[in-house]
Structure 1
Amino acid sequence: MTRIGATSNAWLRASASMAAEAAASTAVPCAFGSRQIDVHWRRGRRLSTSSRPLPLRAEPAGMLKVTAPLPVGIHILAPALPRFRKRYPKLAVDLRLADRQTDLIAEGIDVALRVGNLADSRLLSRRLAPHRLCAFASPGYLERMGIPQSIEELSGHECVNFRYQSSGQSLCWPFQVAERMMEFTPNAGIVVDASDGVLAVLAAGGGIGISPTYAAACHVRRGELVPVLP
């Protein structure tokens, strides 16, 4: 049987490559702190249904179940899957995107990408790339309302905030000022529980909001959004 160890290493190499490319292509200067994207995987799962033992270095085969937060899956993993399948054609991928914390053992998940630190000691993790947040707004909104020069000036602007689906809590915006971390809780006129929804509102001129840089990168390239408070 093809062991998950061999397959995980192959997936991790591909994931590390795509995450590095994404980090390079979405580097946007900003005043927000950063968190890391960790990849977690479960030990011991066997992928091939064949009863004939195969060497550990055999070509990976079978089904690889992967879970990730929605924005990570859409903007980092999904675009890389065709390249991954071309490299490992015998390995099928079942990608599951959700904001909830999946029980990897109970649901038979092989690989999970998570933003933050590993809490479950039964799992191994490897850091892939920084998770950077930045404030964005459309050029039209900034032309109409002005460009804030400090955190305090955000109170005079229309703000669009993100709400976690898992907890229902709205996001406090973390700013790094010199060596200090500061938090700003916006009085948001619009709250959305999906990162891409926040970006759609911002691109339509709805105000200032924050987003992972890898999610906002396509809007920045098209000139729909620009960083605020870099």
Structure 2
Amino acid sequence: MKEQIGLERLTGLIAFARTASLGSYTAAARDLSVSPSAVSKSVQRLEEHFGLRLFSRTTRSLTLTPEGREIYERALRVIREVEEIEQAAVASRGEPSGTLKVTAPLPIGVNILAKALPAFRQRYPKLTVDLRLGDQFSDIIEQGIDVAIRVGNLADSRLVSRPLAPHRICTFASPDYLARRGKPETLEDLAEHDCINFRYQSTGQALRWPFQVGHRLLEITPNASMTIDVSDAVAAVLAAGGGIGISPTYVAAPYVERGELVPVFPEYAVDRFVITALWPESRRGSPNVKAFLEFLQEVFPAITPWDEIVATAATPKSL
């Protein structure tokens, strides 16, 4: 007679799979909303039950053992089956309810989603939103994410995608800075200015500034006086008169609306990739996902309000 799996062992499998996916007890604990020690103890009890070492542990990292790798693959299948059962139950209710897990890059979450979510919750009061902000490209399915918003599209056949809006970037500066230093007339003039650049946290690479000049896409590497790895911090430095920098229009738009930033070379602004919604194929029939995707169409209209603000500021005022 087969031994029945206990609740403690199932909890251990979930803790183990999350730890293996994210690479640490701390990250797994954050994802599961428990303490790191609880995750560690669950994994240790699972190892004791199996009589196997699932991880090779060092002071800096956890690495799956060969036996751990095999159990990890099997554990993922179990967790996916459980999630599909949950999704079937959600779909049978027909009404959005329960928890909706959403992930998005920090700038999009702060500047677009955070402002919109209260209206979404008012519309669906039985639905709880779990919003996770960050640029790490973790496995959406393994993390149990319902909808992910990303810049660009992930090449994953298990995911369905929908474009939301262009990810438009443009150069900006404060009126005060331009009054002190003068407005550059050509791209070559940028060499004479203080440039504030952005660095990708995921790669450590500094951004090469793209400009759409006619049919050509030109890229330059500015001689930066400052390099910052958060888009909102770049915009804050620019608004404080720090120099000229490049920013997504949805980050810069509130500053432009307040008169703290103005677009520089708006005629060369570039649609850099596309803001995209992605969701697992298994979530296609979920009322929660359907409701959120419909809401995203309102949040990201054909002409986005942030691009409209920047375009209006770039239009010469008639006398």
> Which of 258, 274, 282 is the equivalent residue of 1:222?
258
Contact kept in structure 2, 1:160 and 1:190, CA below 8 Å: yes
User: Any idea what the Cα deviations from partners look like across 1:95-138, whole Å, max 9, x if unmatched?
Assistant: 00002112101111111001112322221100111110010000
Mapped to 2, the partners of 1:126 and 1:168 lie a distance apart of 28
Higher relative contact order (CA 8 A, sep 6+): 1
The structure number with the bigger radius of gyration is 2
> Which of 196, 205, 218 is the equivalent residue of 2:241?
205
Aligned pairs for 1:54-65 within 5 A: 56=92, 58-65=94-101
Mapped to 1, the partners of 2:101 and 2:119 lie a distance apart of 17
| Mapped pair 1:167 → 2:203 | yes
> What stretches of structure 2 of length at least 5 have no aligned partner?
1-79, 267-319
1:60 is displaced (CA, Å) by 1.0
> What stretches of structure 1 of length at least 5 have no aligned partner?
1-41
Mapped to 1, the partners of 2:182 and 2:224 lie a distance apart of 18
User: Any idea what the Cα deviations from partners look like across 1:51-97, whole Å, max 9, x if unmatched?
Assistant: 9x576572111111100001100111111101101111111100000
- Give the AA of the match of 1:63: T
> Which of 72, 78, 83 is the equivalent residue of 2:119?
83
Partner of 2:133: 97
User: Any idea what the Cα deviations from partners look like across 1:172-216, whole Å, max 9, x if unmatched?
Assistant: 111100011010111101011100000111011000001110111
Partner of 2:4: none
Mapped to 2, the partners of 1:115 and 1:131 lie a distance apart of 7
What TM-score does the superposition give when structure 1 sets the normalisation length?
A: 0.76
> Which of 147, 157, 171 is the equivalent residue of 1:121?
157
Q: Which moved more, 1:78-87 or 1:54-63?
A: 54-63
- Give the AA of the match of 1:201: V
Structure 1 residue ranges, 4+ long, deviating more than 4 angstroms after superposition: 44-49, 53-57
What TM-score does the superposition give when structure 2 sets the normalisation length?
A: 0.55
Contact kept in structure 1, 2:255 and 2:261, CA below 8 Å: yes
Aligned pairs for 1:1-230 within 5 A: 45=83, 56=92, 58-230=94-266
Q: 1:54 to 1:173 in 2, by over 3 A?
A: closer
Higher share in strand: 1
**Identical aligned residues as a percent:** 65
1:147 is displaced (CA, Å) by 0.5
CA-based RMSD of the aligned residues comes to 2.1
Aligned residues: 186
- Give the AA of the match of 2:145: I
Q: 1:220 to 1:96 in 2, by over 3 A?
A: same
Mapped to 1, the partners of 2:107 and 2:126 lie a distance apart of 27
Mapped to 2, the partners of 1:159 and 1:115 lie a distance apart of 24
Higher share in helix: 2
